[in-house]
Chain A
Amino acid sequence: RKEVEQDPGPFNVPEGATVAFNCTYSNSASQSFFWYRQDCRKEPKLLMSVYSSGNEDGRFTAQLNRASQYISLLIRDSKLSDSATYLCVGTYNFNKFYFGSGTKLNVKP
């Protein structure tokens, strides 16, 4: 079983739509969680950390549910530039980061 699992998509949404991704993790001892964004043929870049209390950064909101072992990312008012693959990440011993396979988002005009 993979440490971190997420729906590969693609999610095809119109501009201005709200879209949500979920990600589940298997290790209840996971310490930290993140969402990364990866553009085609580029390196992943940190989008935001995920805290138990939930956190928001502009149009992006991340939530962590430790009881059910999942994290979520909500994108409001989608822009064409949001089109990318979104990777969820959990950390374990010695700061090893385990990545999900990514969820592809296509925002259409």
Chain B
Amino acid sequence: SQTIHQWPATLVQPVGSPLSLECTVEGTSNPNLYWYRQAAGRGLQLLFYSIGIDQISSEVPQNLSASRPQDRQFILSSKKLLLSDSGFYLCAWSVTDSRFGYTFGSGTRLTVV
């Protein structure tokens, strides 16, 4: 069966520090991969999606970047965090057929102080 792992679960970082969040998927090949952010009390905002290695699309201009160095690995990064980067970051995967929905990782709660 397929599983998705995301870490760390919680992170507190100072303003201006770098960020690296990692997500890996097991049990499938060539998944579509996604990064979402959910600000407190808000909906899910799609940040990046990837349909293959080194194929990344950005949905909104921001202080973040994403990379996919391996088929089942998706990394979210920032060189310098802003206070507004605080939120709940969720990685998700899907097969190429959208009828089957997404599966989310357990998320990383990031607080920038």
Interface residue count for B (Cβ, 8 Å)? 28
Q: A32-B99, A49-B99 are in contact. Are A97 and B104 (CB under 8 A)?
A: no
Residues of chain A within 8 A (CB-CB) of B78 are none
Is there a chain A Cβ closer than 8 Å to B44's Cβ?
Answer: yes
Q: Per-residue 0/1 for A77-100: is the Cβ within 8 Å of any B Cβ (1 yes, 0 no)?
A: 000000000010101001111111
Neighbour of A95 across the interface among B36, B98, B109, CB < 8 A? B98
Cross-chain contact A87 with B43 (CB below 8 angstroms): yes
User: Which A residues are CB-close (under 8 A) to B107?
Assistant: 42-43
Q: Which residues in B have their C-beta under 8 angstroms from that of A96?
A: 34, 46, 49, 59
What is the distance, in angstroms, from B40's C-beta to the closest C-beta of chain A?
A: 10
Contact of A97 among B51, B57, B102 (CB under 8 A): B102
Residue of B nearest to A6 (CB): B43
> B residues touching A (Cβ–Cβ < 8 Å)?
32, 34, 36, 42-44, 46, 49, 51, 57, 59, 88, 90, 92, 94, 96-107, 109
